[in-house]
Structure 1
Amino acid sequence: MAGQKTDERDVLLGRRIAEQRKRSKLTQRAVADSFGMSAAQLQKYEKGVNRISAIHLAILGRLTNTPISEFLDGIPHPDPETERGFSESGQQSYAVEPWSDLARAIARQFVETFSEDQRRELSAAIEVLSRELKS
């Protein structure tokens, strides 16, 4: 990212990136390919020589099944005297509950695949299953 000097935060983030990549048994080449860049460029991110973009961090999070917050939590604020900004308070998960994204994807598939009658039957079966699981 042109014009931005890196600092100790970039070095710390780079270490976390490298650690998580290794834990996930991914090579620099595999991650770099998913970023559309060279392994040498990824190595610069991992060493904190270059600052990684939010987009690449999000891609890495998906590749390693790691929330972005795990990369960023505890990284020091550049100016400790500055009041916390809007983005620095605790963030709520995008999903209301852990299964909501899966439920939406399944529902979309059912709407596209099954008739209204079939969907009603499925809905009734799910309600029965839900009651049984709660008892």
Structure 2
Amino acid sequence: MAGQKTDQRDVYVGQRIAEQRRKASLTQRRVAESFGMSAAQLQKYEKGTNRISAIHLDIFSRMTGVPLEYFFQGAPRLDDVHQDGFAEGRQQPYAAETDLQNLAEVMAQRVGEHLPESLRRDIAAAAQAFSRKLGG
């Protein structure tokens, strides 16, 4: 898959593919033909140089009678590595001693950033009424 950098997981899956291909007495040429590609491309999958598509892995799984899960069992995990992406930054831990103050600050910031002035005034008035009812 063009543009995607491979990592140790691709190498691991590729090794499992090669292992199962040999166990099933299949040649690289035979498997590659069923994928509609060259044996050289299959070799890149087996070495982890290129990432195999889910479709090709499914075809291979059916050819060998090995469940898809097999190829990922015991694979290295990268959960603890921070991956840059489109998500917001990591959330800060919630401080137990000031939970409600933190919540109020976060809510005030979000309200201030995302709601129109008239609605912000209504929310502030409701908060003041709430404070008066509680004796604050």
Normalised TM-score (structure 1)? 0.58
Residue in 2 aligned with 1:88? none
Residue in 2 aligned with 1:13? 13
Give the match's secondary structure for 2:37: coil
Whichever residue aligns with residue 3 of structure 2, its letter is G
Residue in 2 aligned with 1:4? 4
Q: Distance in 1 between matches of 2:73 and 2:15?
A: 13
Unaligned runs of 5+ residues in structure 1 are 83-135
The CA deviation at 1:38 is 0.3
Task: State how many pairs are aligned.
Answer: 82
Identity %: 66
Q: Distance in 2 between matches of 1:22 and 1:71?
A: 14
Residue in 2 aligned with 1:43? 43
Normalised TM-score (structure 2)? 0.58
CA RMSD of aligned residues (A): 1.3
The CA deviation at 1:81 is 6.6
Residue in 2 aligned with 1:94? none
Residue in 1 aligned with 2:62? 62
Alignment of 1:1-135 (within 5 A): 1-80=1-80
Q: Distance in 2 between matches of 1:57 and 1:49?
A: 15
CA-to-aligned-CA distance 1:45-87 (integer Å, 9 cap, x gap):
00000000010000000000000001111212222378xxxxx
Q: Distance in 2 between matches of 1:6 and 1:81?
A: 15
